[in-house]
Amino acid sequence: MSNSFDIVLYGATSFVGQITAKYLAQHTSEPFSWAIAGRNRAKLDTLKAELGLADLPILVADSHDEDALRSIAEQTNVIITTVGPYALYGETLVKICAETGTDYCDLTGEPQWIKQMLDQYEAQAKESGARIIHCAGFDSIPSDLGVWALQEHAIAATGQPVSHIKMRVTKIRGAASGGTVASMLNVMADVRKDKSLRKVLVNPYVLCPDEHGFHVRQTNHQKAQFEPDTKMWVMPFVMAAINERIVHRTNALLGARYGSAFRYDEAMRAKSAGQAWGMTLGLGAFMLGAATGLGRTLMAKTFLPKPGEGPSEQAQLKGMFDMRFYGTTEDGSQLEFKVKGDRDPGYGSTAKMLAQVGLCLAKDVSELEGGCWTPASGLGQKLIDRLAAHAGVSVSQVKP
Ligand SMILES: NC(=O)c1ccc[n+]([C@@H]2O[C@H](COP(=O)([O-])OP(=O)(O)OC[C@H]3O[C@@H](n4cnc5c(N)ncnc54)[C@H](OP(=O)(O)O)[C@@H]3O)[C@@H](O)[C@H]2O)c1
């Protein structure tokens, strides 16, 4: 490891990048070397002044400039990137990391783009030793680690994984940023341009390696409904589309550790039928509006946050999330696990989780082979420990 830096934070001036930079600047409980990077030198200088770190190096590269990105990759062990929408700006960096053997993590939640990256660069990452981890934020770390922890507990206790886990978001306080909205709208635009992507997006196993062999039909929550077993009204959870795919990829990468007929579904708990239907209709209206170019333009110009905008610092502090995972073991015991975060999910908590994935790659997993891992399959308990110690995110069993 002769590189100058443990970590380069690329896209440090994005909304979530700035929060991540502030978090890294204050994370003094372990030594590490780092630099900030982005396309705009003046914005990076301003950020550096705000951080108050006179010696913090700055690196400049446009996301399409292969030579500049290679020069960054050659100076660091890990690149953390927040430059998104990733389907528009992310590919060159993945390519360079796969070529140079540089570890990489990002905040994409765009399944169609991850699929392209796997198809094009996974083989090279395996060869070069680059460990690539997508979805290293609110999507999809809590889902991936919550399922993994419950299954590890079930396997240790009974020798068998549970065959079905439901994740229900029981509490969540937070809002979206312009970058997240831009990514969601860009997925809709991509599907509009290329109808074959619909097939990609509805396949729960789309991110699994070709030889996964999973066939079981998965539940897809598209409307409000009352669940007799949990006695809850539930409604669709907007992140389910990416989280469920990451969980199935983890299962595949771990050699079907959760079983080859494993079922997993995510939804949000509602306080009442009225709330469940109101949210379902609201989400439906958003999707309908986002399905046309005109609708996307109108929404982006009127009420949606613009790139660079997002929830205030106070809203991040007041934010939180609480996600519950329910499964029944082979011997009939009910298991419940919870994943909780102490900041708003998309920014305050996401920034801390992303930074800790970068540090975990840099410091904890030298034995991990190159390839495209998920947070749970690549980092597992080491990441859970880091998040509990440094990121205000806990993964634990709810005792009956
Ligand atoms: N997974 C999660 O839980 C989660 C949570 C939050 C965000 N996200 C994702 O994270 C990404 C960032 O979100 P955000 O709200 O922080 O976005 P944002 O504020 O709009 O920032 C976008 C960033 O991309 C940079 N950029 C754009 N074009 C570039 C280019 N050609 N070369 C280099 N850099 C370029 C911008 O640089 P400048 O600063 O110079 O303009 C900016 O730093 C989005 O994709 C979003 O979906 C995911």
Q: pLDDT for 321-375, tens place per residue?
A: 999 999 999 888 899 999 999 999 989 999 999 999 999 999 999 999 999 999 9
CA distance 74 to 194: 35
Question: Is 187 within a domain?
Answer: yes
Do 217 and 179 lie in a common domain? yes
Closest ligand 1 atom to residue 88 Cα is 28
Q: Is the pLDDT of residue 191 over 60?
A: yes
Average pLDDT over residues 273-300: 84
- The per-residue pLDDT for 283 is 83
Do 121 and 166 lie in a common domain? no
Question: Is 328 within a domain?
Answer: yes
202 Cα: distance to centroid of ligand 1 (angstroms)? 26
Q: Specify the CATH number for the domain of residue 386.
A: 3.40.50.720
pLDDT-derived band of residue 301, with 50, 70 and 90 as boundaries?
confident
- The per-residue pLDDT for 2 is 57
CA distance 57 to 33: 10
9 Cα: distance to centroid of ligand 1 (angstroms)? 12
Do 352 and 336 lie in a common domain? no
Question: Is 292 within a domain?
Answer: yes
Domain boundary among 343, 362, 380: 343
Indicate the DSSP class of residue 348: I
Do 248 and 173 lie in a common domain? yes
Please state whether beta strands 164-173 and 320-328 pair in parallel, antiparallel, or not at all (unpaired).
antiparallel
Q: Is the pLDDT of residue 297 over 90?
A: no
Q: Is the pLDDT of residue 17 over 60?
A: yes
8 Å CB contact between 379 and 103: no
Q: Which domain holds residue 71?
A: 5-137+348-392
Question: SS3 of 106, please?
Answer: strand
Please classify residue 252 by burial: count the beta carbons closer than 10 Å to its beta carbon, then call 0-12 exposed, 13-18 middle and 19+ buried.
buried
- DSSP per-residue letters across 316-339: HHH-EEEEEEEEE-TTS-EEEEEE
Total structural domains within the chain? 2
Question: Is 314 within a domain?
Answer: yes
176 Cα: distance to centroid of ligand 1 (angstroms)? 12
Q: Is the pLDDT of residue 24 over 80?
A: yes
Closest ligand 1 atom to residue 63 Cα is 32
Do 75 and 162 lie in a common domain? no
Per-residue tokens: 211: 């030889």
Do 197 and 94 lie in a common domain? no
Residue 81, phi then psi, degrees to nearest 5:
-125, 140
Q: What is the CA radius of gyration of the chain?
A: 20
Indicate the DSSP class of residue 400: -
- Cα-to-chain-centroid distance, residue 270: 24
- The per-residue pLDDT for 183 is 77
Do 122 and 209 lie in a common domain? no
CA atoms within 13 A on the CB side of 303: 5
Per-residue tokens: 139: 């999507």
- Pick the closest to residue 320 from 329, 311, 330 (CA basis): 311
Q: Is the pLDDT of residue 308 over 80?
A: no
| DSSP H/E element including 251 | helix 240-253
251 Cα: distance to centroid of ligand 1 (angstroms)? 29
Domain boundary among 343, 358, 375: 343
* Residue 32 identity (one-letter amino acid): F
82 Cα: distance to centroid of ligand 1 (angstroms)? 5
CA distance 182 to 117: 20
Q: Probe ligand 1: pick from 22, 83, 387, max atoms within 8 Å of CB? A: 83
- Tens-digit pLDDT profile for residues 32-47: 999 999 999 999 999 9
Do 217 and 118 lie in a common domain? no
Question: Is 208 within a domain?
Answer: yes
| DSSP H/E element including 280 | helix 273-290
Whole-Å CA distances, 67 to 64, 85, 93, 289, 387: 9, 21, 10, 39, 34
- List residues near ligand 1 (CB under 6 A): 11, 13-17, 38-40, 43, 62-64, 82-86, 89, 107, 109, 137-139, 177-180, 183, 307-308, 310, 346, 350
Do 353 and 230 lie in a common domain? no
Least confident piece of the model among 75-79, 228-232, 296-300: 296-300
CA distance 98 to 124: 6
pTM for the predicted model, two decimal places: 0.95
Whole-number mean pLDDT of the chain? Answer: 93
- Tens-digit pLDDT profile for residues 46-63: 999 999 999 999 999 999
pLDDT-derived band of residue 311, with 50, 70 and 90 as boundaries?
confident
Q: In what order do the strands lie in the sheet with 103-106?
A: 58-60, 34-38, 5-10, 76-81, 103-106, 131-133, 371-373
Do 205 and 352 lie in a common domain? no
Q: Is the pLDDT of residue 166 over 60?
A: yes
- Pick the closest to residue 357 from 160, 35, 4, 107 (CA basis): 107
Do 151 and 278 lie in a common domain? yes
CA angle 388/262/361 to nearest 5° reads: 35
Question: Is 397 within a domain?
Answer: no
8 Å CB contact between 374 and 106: no
Question: Is 399 within a domain?
Answer: no
130 Cα: distance to centroid of ligand 1 (angstroms)? 23
- The per-residue pLDDT for 1 is 47
Question: Is 400 within a domain?
Answer: no
Left (φ > 0), alpha (ψ -120 to 50) or beta: where does 302 sit? alpha
Do 190 and 279 lie in a common domain? yes
